[in-house]
Amino acid sequence: MADMPPKEMTEEEKLAAEWEASAGSDAIIDGASDGGNATRVLSQNEIDSLLGFGDAGDGGQENSGIMALINSALVNYERLPMLEVVFDRLVRMMSTSLRNFTSDNVEVSLDQITSVRFGDYLNSIPLPAMLCVFKAEEWDNSGLMTVDSAMIYSIVDVLLGGRRGTAQMRIEGRPYTTIERNLVERLVRVVLADMSGAFDPLSPVTFRFDRLETNPRFATIARPANAAVLAKLRIDMEDRGGRIEVLLPYATLEPIRELLLQMFMGEKFGRDSIWETHLGNELLLTEMKMRAVLDEVTLPLSEIMNWRPGSRLMLNVRADDLISVRAGDVTLFQGRMGRLNDHVAVKVEEITLQKRQEDDGL
C-alpha cells in the first residue's frame, strides 16, 4: 500500500503534545532517582511557607500555620488597658526616685508591654543577669524582675563613684560579688516601692523583696506554659544605663482583673453616680398603671365558654376584706375598698412590696 501523507496537527494538538512530553520527562527523572516511583521534593521555602515560618511573619503580618496555633493561647495585654496607665505612672515615679538614689541624671522610659509565656521568657533572658523574685502580699502571688548586666555594672559604677564619660567595665565569666548583689538589691527595693505606689490608686498592694537569683531555673514562679505580662523599662544615666524587665503572670493579676479592664481611672462599669441619679429622677416621673384585684377564681374553660350576658361570677370576698393593688404581676399594696365622693377608692392598709424587700434582706 502506498503511504498516506501525514495529517497536519492543529494548535491544540501541538500544545497537548508539548505538555505530554514535558510531563513524561519529569516522571522519568523522578522515577530514576527514586527507583521508579515518581515523587515531588519540596524546597525549603515551600516547607517554611507551609509551616508558617516564612518571611511574612518578619514583615509584621499575622503568622499562620503552626506559629498561629502556638500563639493563639496568648492573651493580649490590650485587654487590660489600665496596665499601661499603671506602668506610665511607674515610669514617672522611678525617674524621681532613681535620681535621688543615684544622685545622677536618670531618664526612665517604657519600651513596650507584651504578653509572653513564662517558659519562653526564661529561655530568652540574656545571661549574665540578676533575677529578683518578689511577692505581691495582698494578691498572694509572685512576680519577677530582671536586671541585665549592663544595668548591674552601671548602677555599681554610679553608686561607687565612677567617673562620667567612661564606659563601665564588664568582667564576664565570674559570679557577681556580694557588694554587687547588695547594690542591685537596693535598686530593686526602690523599684518595688515605686511599683506599689503605681498600683495604689487602682488597688493597694505591697511588693515585698524575696530573693535574688542568677540562674533562671531557680526563679521559676509559674508553669512554663502560663501567660504573663512583660514590661520592658529602659534606664539611661547619661552615657551609662541598661534595662529592667518586670514580669507579672496573669494569675498574679487575677484579683484585680476587673479593675484592669477599665478604660480610665475610676470607671465603675455602669455604677456611675451621675447616671444613677439621673435614672432615679426619671423613674420617679414614670407613669405606672395599677389594678385593684378583688379576688381570683380558677374555673374550667368549659364553664367560661357557657357564659352569657347576665351570667354571675361569685367572689369569695366580703365588703371589709383586703384587696390587692398590683402593677403587672407585682403586688404593691393591700387595702380596703370604699367610696370617696362620687368615686370608688381604695384605702392602703399594708405596703406589701416594702415588706417583701425587708424579708429578702434588700
pLDDT at 165: 57
pLDDT value of residue 342: 81
Given this model, what pLDDT does residue 16 score?
Answer: 65
Question: Per DSSP, which regions of the chain are E strands?
Answer: 107-117, 129-136, 141-148, 207-213, 227-237, 240-249, 291-293, 322-327, 330-340, 343-351
Cell readout for 53 is: 515560618
CATH 3.40.1550.10 maps onto the chain at 77-260
For domain 77-260, the CATH architecture is: 3-Layer(aba) Sandwich (3.40)
Instruction: Give the pLDDT confidence score for residue 57 in this predicted structure.
Output: 43
* Contact (CB, 8 A) for 38 and 31: yes
What's the confidence (pLDDT) of residue 56? 44
Q: Kindly give the confidence (pLDDT) of every residue in the chain, 362 residues in length, as a single tens digit, with 9 standing for 90 and above.
A: 444 555 556 666 766 666 666 555 444 444 444 444 556 777 776 666 665 555 444 444 455 555 555 555 454 544 677 888 889 999 999 999 988 888 888 888 888 888 888 888 888 888 888 999 999 888 888 999 999 888 888 888 888 877 665 555 555 667 788 888 899 999 999 999 999 999 888 888 899 998 888 888 888 888 888 888 899 999 988 778 889 999 999 888 888 888 887 766 555 544 567 878 888 888 888 888 888 888 888 888 888 888 888 888 877 777 777 888 888 888 888 888 888 888 888 888 888 776 665 666 55
Task: Please classify residue 104 by burial: count the beta carbons closer than 10 Å to its beta carbon, then call 0-12 exposed, 13-18 middle and 19+ buried.
Answer: middle
Instruction: Quote the pLDDT of residue 359.
Output: 61
Which residues neighbour 144 within 8 Å (Cβ) at sequence distance 6 or greater? 131, 132, 133, 134, 219, 221, 246, 247
| Cα of 80 vs its chain's centroid, Å | 5
Closest C-alpha to 119, from 152, 73, 78, 176: 73
